[in-house]
Amino acid sequence: MVNQDDLKRQVAEAALDYVVPGTIIGVGTGSTANMFIDALAGIKNRIEGTVASSEATAERLRGHGIMVFELNEVDSLSVYIDGADEADAGLNLIKGGGGALTREKIVAACSEKFVCIADQSKKVDVLGKFPLPIEVIPMARSYIAREMVKRGGEPVWREDFVTDNGNQIIDVHGLQIIDPKGLEAELDHLPGVVTNGLFALRPADTLLLATPDGVETLKAAQ
């Protein structure tokens, strides 16, 4: 039987085909993104460099001798390659299991193309089984938690975790997200929310999904 790490490695290696030579690329965060970074090391001389979506990713990239730029130093990124916690048929995503959602969303926004890499366990019909992470300004935590209860969620404070931006995370369980774009926009308007983990207003352009039979390439259903 193929284990999940093997699937992650397969899809991470498949993503090398999407690296645009001579450009700066965005790199995501998490165990699948880490495997992509390790694979990228083998072709590092073909790119100008990277922008990292977290301190952990920057450290791993530098550890491989891969150039890391600050986002403010670059005009645009050819492609952003990152994992996800859940993906639906529209390539709407839940991200932020690793707590890097805000920087991930910023880097994705600056990228011409977003290639999501995941193993088949991440593909769902309806988003929400994976708890939705919300990065909040610390003083707003309880307020946002109450707002999520009003929306049918069960918020859990991710204690002992501080984001790279110095904020806190609430993981909201029990949601069935039938309108990902609507909920993403609604939550972003609550005062104190820095970012929510829905990537639907800017979904992935391509989802590479690792299965025991190989890597499938999915495009968003129009």
- Would you name the residues annotated as active-site residues? 104
Binding status of residue 203 toward ligand 5RP by CB under 6 A: no
Q: Which is nearer to ligand 5RP, 4 or 217 (CB)?
A: 4
Q: Which is nearer to ligand 5RP, 8 or 141 (CB)?
A: 8
Binding status of residue 155 toward ligand 5RP by CB under 6 A: no
Per CB under 6 A, which region of 44-52, 78-86, 157-165, 211-219 contacts ligand 5RP? 78-86
Q: What CA–CA distance (Å, rounded) separates 63 from 140? A: 36
Among residues 14, 81, 91, 100, the one that binds ligand 5RP under rule CB under 6 A? 100
Of 5, 22, 125, 2, residue with least CA distance to 67: 22
Q: Which is nearer to ligand 5RP, 56 or 68 (CB)?
A: 56
Binders of ligand 5RP in range 161-180 (CB under 6 A): none
Binding status of residue 105 toward ligand 5RP by CB under 6 A: no
Q: Which is nearer to ligand 5RP, 75 or 159 (CB)?
A: 159
Question: Which run of H or of E encompasses 145?
Answer: helix 141-150
CA 176 to each of CA 22, 47, 92, 125, 128: distance values in angstroms, whole numbers, following the listed order: 42, 40, 13, 10, 5
Binding status of residue 101 toward ligand 5RP by CB under 6 A: yes
Binding status of residue 29 toward ligand 5RP by CB under 6 A: yes
Cβ at position 25, least distance to ligand 5RP in Å? 16
Tokens 């308007």 map to which residue? 189
Among residues 16, 20, 31, 68, the one that binds ligand 5RP under rule CB under 6 A? 31
Question: Helix, strand or coil for residue 132?
Answer: strand
Binding status of residue 28 toward ligand 5RP by CB under 6 A: yes
Question: Which run of H or of E encompasses 184?
Answer: helix 180-188
Name residue 192's amino acid.
G
Cβ at position 7, least distance to ligand 5RP in Å? 11
At residue 115, φ and ψ (nearest 5 deg) are -105, 115
| 35 burial via Cβ count (<10 Å: 0-12, 13-18, 19+) | buried
Half-sphere exposure of 1 (CA within 13 A, CB side): 2
Binding site residues, ligand 5RP, CB under 6 A: 28-33, 82-85, 95-101, 104
